[in-house]
Copies of this chain bind each other. A is one copy, B any other.
Amino acid sequence: MNASIVALVEGVLAGDRRSMARAISMVEDGDPGLEELSRELFPRAGRAATVGLTGSPGVGKSSLAACLVGAARDRGQTVAVLAIDPTSPFSGGALLGDRLRMQAHATDPGVFIRSMATRGHLGGMALAAPEAIRILDASGKDLVVVETVGVGQAEVEVATATDTTLVVVSPGWGDAVQVAKAGILEIADVFVVNKADREGADEAVRDLNLMIRMGPETDWTPPVVRTSAATGEGVDELWDAIERHRAHQETTGTLARKRHRRVLEEVEGMVAERLRARAAAALDGPEGADLAAGLTARRIDPYAAAAALAERVATAAEVRVGGTDG
């Protein structure tokens, strides 16, 4: 094994901040050393509790994440926060500015905060996030909080790649109907009505409870917690709700089943990305130029092109397998 990876693995396992930051950067960049790093860390992960935060921009997810950091520290737990940034050349500055409220925790050795873009990682957020979470988990943190910026299919995938998913709304942002429209009602393990001092908070809580009752019956009914990240109101209740959810999942065995399903989905995604990269390379090469020209002229349809390309990718694999075997 590469000596610098050995040192990095040791650093991460010891909870060294620079090693952790370097490892997360490798995830961001899709660094070639990532595979080796992940292999070494994988057996050492799985101990941390993980919590995901999702909700529209502006509902106060970052502030709430800062509150959860405070709550964890008050209880003697160490914590890591991973803020997933969209791949945007614009957003860096805005996000860093926003993260200033996290600065209160920046010098606390029990806290690690990091935002992560996914520019270089071929699998996008969906594959980068579980790798980053494992790094933070393997570093020995008791709690890993994952925050997404938007609210969409990919963001929901990231937030649900945790043990407990919090769906955050705020009265100013919209109401429970918007939550239903965004398709995030059924992914919530706990609902948070943040900015609860604002007008419309009562209605938001009432509507959410109504919609939960209208939904399918399950063995866990997501509680609706009112918080104000500004004053700290409701943060203890939120913490208790997260702990109750975790205890419920451990009692029922849901946690183990959820984690098992997650890692299988991750592997499927990895396989698809490997083969997708081969397809892109084939399409980029001289052979692919024909297909591309045919598509533009509408002589070839996308299905026919995909079938031809899948064949080429498979054939390339065949040659490689043949070469290895004999």
Residues of A within 8 A of B (CB): 35, 38-39, 42-43, 45-46, 56-58, 85-91, 94-95, 98, 124-125, 148-156, 172-174, 177-186, 211, 214-216, 256, 259-260, 263-264, 266-276, 279-280, 283, 291-292, 295-296, 298-299, 301-306, 309-311, 313-315, 317-318, 320-321
Contact = CB atoms under 8 A, between A and B. Distances in A.
A303 to B, nearest CB: 5
Given A87-B183, A155-B152, A310 B57 contact: no
Contacts of A269: 276
A305 B263 CA distance: 10
B152 A151 contact: yes
A309 B271 contact: yes
How many monomers of this chain does the complex have? 2
A309 B306 CA distance: 21
Question: Which 10 residue pairs across A and B have the least CB separation, nearest first?
Answer: A152-B152, A86-B183, A314-B317, A272-B276, A153-B154, A58-B174, A270-B306, A88-B183, A42-B301, A271-B279
Nearest to A314: B317
A137 to B, nearest CB: 12
A304 B87 CA distance: 28
Contacts of A215: 89-90
A180 B91 CA distance: 5
Contacts of A35: 303
A182 B302 contact: no
A38 B301 contact: yes
A315 B321 contact: yes
Contacts of A309: 267-268, 271
A154 B155 CA distance: 8
Contacts of A89: 186, 215-216
25 contacts: A38-B303, A39-B303, A42-B302, A58-B174, A88-B185, A90-B183, A90-B215, A91-B185, A94-B180, A94-B181, A125-B153, A151-B152, A152-B156, A264-B283, A267-B291, A268-B280, A268-B283, A271-B275, A272-B273, A274-B306, A274-B310, A275-B276, A275-B310, A314-B314, A314-B317
